[in-house]
Amino acid sequence: MAPVPSIRQLYQPVQPTVKQTVAQVSYVELLPDPALQNYIYCYWQLHTSSPLQETFHYRVVADGCMDIFFELHQPQESFVMGFSSAYTAFPLSPTFHYIGIRFFPAAFPLLFNIAAAELTNRFETLSVVLPDTARFIASHFHPALTTAEIKHQLDQHFLPILLQKTLQQDRRFFNALHTILEQQGIVNIEKELATGISNRQLRRLFEHYIGDSAKTFSKVVRFQHILHSNPSPAYLRKHKIFFDAGYYDQAHFIKEFKTLFGLTPTQAFEQ
């Protein structure tokens, strides 16, 4: 099995809304086993420490990734969420304990040979997509597990999948992916990505591995780079960072940011 080029140094997807939760809600990210770290960005845990007084609205911003997730009290019901071209809001009950596996862009289709476009902008019952993994979750997870035990169980499931796979990598796609990440999403698709490959082929590859076009994925990467820089509202007002990020004017920047985050830049970075 040829190793997949690591993108961890180039891309760390941010979910900033988890830092803006009420006191009774906790979110943590855990690194998987080192052998899995080119494919799985993190395992994550979102849970309440005590019942909330009202419905909790959990906002997931666009990050280019695919996630498997389940409620620890109902592991028989697990789901997979595909690439999203906009933020997604989930209303949650007053008490919850969610566990998730966040795959790097392209990793889920690579590991499981499932076209990402089949899951774009939606989530599906995991048993329909990966029945073996759904059965594993249903039979191995329960609320009494510690965080360390949850991580161990997930490592023990995904490591054999990785080791037994002969990964079919398309170098043309991974070269294009690295270009987008290295340039933080500010790319000329036709001039910088399509060398030696037609636009139709490029779109087909990105739909398979990412779930959408190279252009849409680049928008998400550009947006994520801004989140990673975490500018203050005062900095946003003083510096026109949208020009540096490749936006042609402030209105374009605000509109696209709100689509991907669910709030304006000022609202997002005030929290």
* Overall pTM > 0.75: yes
Read off the CATH number of the domain in which 179 is found.
1.10.10.60
Residue 79 lies in a domain: yes
My answer on whether 131 and 151 are in the same domain is yes
Domain end call among 133, 164, 195: 164
Residue 38 has φ and ψ, to the nearest 5°, of -80, -10
- Please report how the helices 147-164 and 131-140 are oriented relative to each other, as an axis angle in degrees rounded to 10: 150
My answer on whether 191 and 241 are in the same domain is yes
My answer on whether 254 and 187 are in the same domain is yes
Q: How far is CA 247 from the centre of its chain?
A: 23
Q: How far is CA 81 from CA 108, 124, 230, in A?
A: 11, 7, 26
CA angle 256/260/265 to nearest 5° reads 65
Each residue's pLDDT expressed in tens, for the chain with a length of 271 residues: 455 668 999 999 999 766 555 788 999 999 999 999 999 999 999 999 999 988 888 889 999 999 999 999 999 999 999 999 999 999 999 999 999 999 999 999 999 999 999 999 999 999 999 999 999 999 999 999 999 999 999 999 999 999 987 777 888 899 999 999 999 999 888 788 866 788 899 999 999 999 999 999 999 999 999 888 887 777 776 666 776 777 878 888 889 999 999 999 888 887 6
CA angle 214/62/176 to nearest 5° reads 25
Domain end call among 144, 164, 184: 164
Residue 3 lies in a domain: no
DSSP code string of 152-200 = HHHHHHHHHHHHH------HHHHHHHHHHHHTTT---IIIII-TTS-HH
As to burial, measured by CB atoms within 10 angstroms (0-12 exposed, 13-18 middle, 19+ buried), residue 126 is buried
Dihedral, 172, 114, 10, 222 alpha carbons, nearest 10? 90
Dihedral, 44, 49, 50, 54 alpha carbons, nearest 10? -40
CA distance 53 to 58: 15
pLDDT of the residue at 195? 67
Domain span including residue 126? 16-164
My answer on whether 207 and 86 are in the same domain is no
Residue 10 lies in a domain: no
Residue 16 DSSP label: G
Query: Helices (DSSP H) in 9-130: which residue ranges?
Result: 107-112, 126-129
Residue 9 lies in a domain: no
Q: Say how many CA atoms lie within 13 Å of 211 toward its Cβ.
A: 25
My answer on whether 125 and 28 are in the same domain is yes
How many domains are there within the chain? 2
Residue 7 lies in a domain: no
